[in-house]
Amino acid sequence: MPEGPSIIILREEVMQFEGHKIFSASGSAKIDMDRIAGKKLLSFKTWGKNFLICFSGFTIKIHLLMFGVYLINKRKKLEPKLSLVFDNGELNFYTCSVKLLEGDLNQYYDWTADIMNENWDSKAAKKKLEEIPQKMICDALLEQDIFSGVGNIIKNEVLYRVKVHPESLIGKIPKPKITEIIKENIIYSFQFLDWKRKNELAKHWLAYSQKTCVRCNLPFVKKDTGLKKRASFFCNHCQKLYE
């Protein structure tokens, strides 16, 4: 599933269509395509893992799910979920969720929860964590209403950097360490974006999909952790379990 930085790159790649009129809209998504055709695309926005195509009065929300794909000025043989044709090219989405949001976009999204948004609020994130002391940190980092845009790669890399075991309970983690976790999410997310732009993200992984701890030279544990049962890669020696 693409994480927040990858969706920002998607927005950067399609900016050529911003401000252009849509000649035609088609696809298997269950939205009113006739309503889109002929409309001027005002802007592209992102909120975490959500890609937002904004028009006057409504917005198309795209979520790429686990295996979603987008193509610019190209098509696959199969029918797209959504195809938008402009006077200067086309944009096609496959294997994704497509929904239409009516009215003001601000009523749907808390921009202070988006880790890479200029309105991100670390204090609000810390307060939300304080309200769920019994939740494992591995689950909390994937809560999009707290850390919008954070996915499993960022989760694993951040927890390894700060030396915290993914099954640690939030209420047992020292407050300075909570602050460190929040800060590291921001730092790593922007590093993720930079490495992704350079097509070198995977070579910087220290924990995700790795087999050996570079600090301890011991085997990593791979385990589906928390209620979300997402894969965690961690070192039992240097990542402390707070329970």
Enumerate the domain spans of the chain: 4-107, 112-234
Reported as a single tens digit per residue, the pLDDT across 89-145 is 999 999 999 999 999 999 999 999 999 999 999 999 999 999 999 999 999 999 999
Q: Which CATH number fits domain 4-107: 3.20.190.10, 3.60.20.10, 3.50.30.30, 3.50.50.60?
A: 3.20.190.10
50: amino acid identity, one letter = N
Under the banding of pLDDT at 50, 70 and 90, the label for residue 182 is very high
Alpha-carbon distance of 20 to 30, in angstroms, equals 23
Reported as a single tens digit per residue, the pLDDT across 189-235 is 999 999 999 999 999 999 999 999 999 999 999 999 999 999 999 99
SS3 state at 128: helix
C-beta separation of 242 from 164 below 8 A: yes
Residue at token pair 């701890």: 213
Strands (E), the chain: 22-26, 43-47, 50-54, 58-63, 69-72, 82-86, 89-94, 97-102, 221-225, 230-234
Q: Count CA atoms closer than 13 A to 51's CA, side-chain side.
A: 27
pLDDT at 1: 78
Q: Determine whether 69 is exposed, middle or buried from the number of CB atoms within 10 Å of its CB (0-12, 13-18, 19+).
A: middle
CATH 1.10.10.350 fits 112-234, yes or no: no
The angle subtended at Cα 153 by Cα 152 and Cα 159, nearest 5°, is 85
Residue range 11-27: average pLDDT?
A: 97
Residue range 168-196: average pLDDT?
A: 98
Residue count of the chain: 243
pLDDT at 134: 98
User: Residue 81: which residues within 8 A CB-CB, separation 6 or more?
Assistant: 27, 28, 29, 93, 94, 95, 96, 98
Per-chain mean pLDDT for the chain: 97
Residue at token pair 């997402």: 230
Alpha-carbon distance of 28 to 42, in angstroms, equals 23
Residue range 162-174: average pLDDT?
A: 98
Reported as a single tens digit per residue, the pLDDT across 54-86 is 999 999 999 999 999 999 999 999 999 999 999
User: Residue 230: which residues within 8 A CB-CB, separation 6 or more?
Assistant: 138, 142, 152, 155, 224
User: Residue 69: which residues within 8 A CB-CB, separation 6 or more?
Assistant: 76, 93, 94, 95, 96
With a cut of 90, say whether residue 167 has pLDDT above it. Answer: yes
Pairing status of strand 58-63 against strand 50-54: antiparallel
